């Protein structure tokens, strides 16, 4: 209510430290009126003495340390990427890992919690317009002042005030539930991964939730490679206006397989080519030429085929042989990456003459290239 009113009058967004004002007012009121509610209590001030880690605890700490490290890195990178996307800047994950490692080494000499991203503090800073490193310097300076001097003054601060500050700061995270229908329409796999991650983390535990969500994400990747989509485009029937000629514009078919071609989905690839061939052979032609399959061209659009294994290569050989047997068509391969093109050439599936940079170049090529003999 206050921010929109100020923005309408001034024409600019002015960050107001509502949290600091609320803490100051409620602390004073709690001290004056002695409210009967849970308060923060005694807050020690000053730094503890640094101590060397206890060697006998290292072995027993390895397992929880690995779990804490995985959770911390996952949360930190995901949170920083989320805010980077929201505020329009880029991050370096390696630099973030170096920062976490350095602070963890230093804090290991003090009785502190493991270093991890402060989601609530970060959200509070963003809500107040923090965008540069100066905000981090001022935050550290304020924390240092609280540790050394100001801490005891928060003795009478009601805990419910701190809770309300965190809840309001977490409001953008809670509002993410509204994006579930939109995410479902964009990608059902991503939506299910989000739901499984949230449910397992909240209902079970952070560690087990992370493991289960990671396994589900891998399972969704397997499902995507198991049933990839494919599409086919065909040329329109051409008609020759000269009834004495037997020439006609070349017919073509463009087949695109949207995914990597590996042992988990080669059958889907073969079925897609087979169905495309059936439709290509049965499509009507308006040309007066007697052989409707003359001057035909079958183009493989390999733009989405980033990887192909030995089983996929064998499937490719089989469909190429089927094309040569069923239709009098020249083969063309478009948008093939370097690794895939080498594999196709080595297995005599393609030649250097029928590899093209784009689909348009493959379609418009006038070379009559026969399928390689297998």
What is the model's pTM? 0.53
Determine which of 117-121, 212-216, 362-366 has the lowest per-residue pLDDT on average: 117-121
pLDDT at residue 235 above 50? yes
Cβ pair 53, 110 in contact under 8 A: no
The CA angle 318-262-215, to the nearest 5 degrees, is: 155
- CATH architecture of the domain with residue range 229-364: 2-Layer Sandwich (3.30)
pLDDT at 237: 64
CB-based contact 16:2 (threshold 8 Å): yes
End-to-end Cα, the chain, rounded Å: 75
Q: What are phi and psi of 91, to 5 degrees?
A: -125, 160
Share above pLDDT 90 across residues of the chain, in percent, rounded to a whole number: 13
Q: How far is CA 74 from the centre of its chain?
A: 13
Would you give the distance in Å from CA 190 to the centre of its chain? 9
- When pLDDT is cut at 50, 70 and 90, the band that residue 247 belongs to is very low
**3-state secondary structure (DSSP) of residue 240:** coil
Q: What is the pLDDT of residues 254-301, one digit of tens each?
A: 999 988 888 888 888 999 999 998 888 887 654 444 444 456 889 999
Q: Is the pLDDT of residue 3 over 90?
A: no
pLDDT of res. 246: 47
């Amino acid at each position: 209510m206050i921010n929109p009113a100020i923005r309408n009058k001034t024409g600019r967004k002015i960050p107001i430290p509502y949290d600091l004002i609320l803490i100051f007012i409620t602390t004073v009121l709690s001290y004056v009126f002695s409210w009967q509610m849970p308060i923060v209590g005694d807050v020690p001030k000053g730094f503890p003495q640094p101590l060397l880690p206890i060697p006998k605890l290292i072995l027993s700490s390895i397992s929880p340390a690995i779990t804490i490290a995985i959770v911390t890195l996952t949360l930190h990178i995901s949170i920083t990427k989320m805010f980077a996307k929201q505020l329009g800047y880029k991050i370096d994950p390696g630099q973030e890992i170096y920062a976490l490692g350095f602070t963890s080494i230093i804090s290991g000499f003090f009785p502190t919690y493991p270093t991890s991203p402060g989601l609530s503090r970060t959200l509070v800073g963003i809500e107040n317009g923090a965008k540069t490193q100066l905000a981090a310097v001022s935050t550290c300076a304020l924390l240092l002042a609280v540790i050394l001097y100001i801490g005891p003054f928060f003795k009478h601060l009601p805990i419910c005030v701190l809770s309300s500050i965190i809840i309001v700061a977490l409001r953008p995270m809670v509002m993410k539930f509204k994006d579930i229908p939109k995410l479902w329409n964009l990608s059902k796999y991503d939506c299910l991964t989000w739901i499984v991650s949230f449910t397992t983390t909240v209902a079970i535990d952070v560690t087990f939730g992370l493991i289960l969500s990671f396994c589900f994400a891998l399972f969704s990747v397997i499902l995507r490679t198991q049933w990839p989509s494919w599409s086919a485009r065909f040329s329109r029937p051409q008609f020759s206006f000269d009834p004495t000629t037997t020439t006609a514009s070349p017919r073509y078919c463009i087949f695109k397989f949207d995914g990597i071609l590996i042992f988990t989905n080669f059958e889907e690839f073969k079925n897609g080519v087979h169905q495309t061939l059936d439709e290509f052979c049965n499509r009507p032609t308006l040309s007066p030429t007697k052989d409707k399959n003359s001057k035909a061209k079958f183009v493989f659009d390999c733009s989405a085929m980033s990887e192909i294994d030995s089983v996929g290569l064998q499937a490719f050989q089989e469909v190429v042989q089927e094309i040569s047997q069923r239709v009098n068509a020249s083969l063309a391969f478009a948008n093939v990456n370097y690794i895939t093109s080498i594999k196709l050439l080595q297995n005599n599936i393609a030649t250097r003459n029928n590899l093209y940079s784009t689909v348009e170049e493959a379609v418009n090529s006038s070379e009559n290239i026969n399928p390689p003999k297998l």
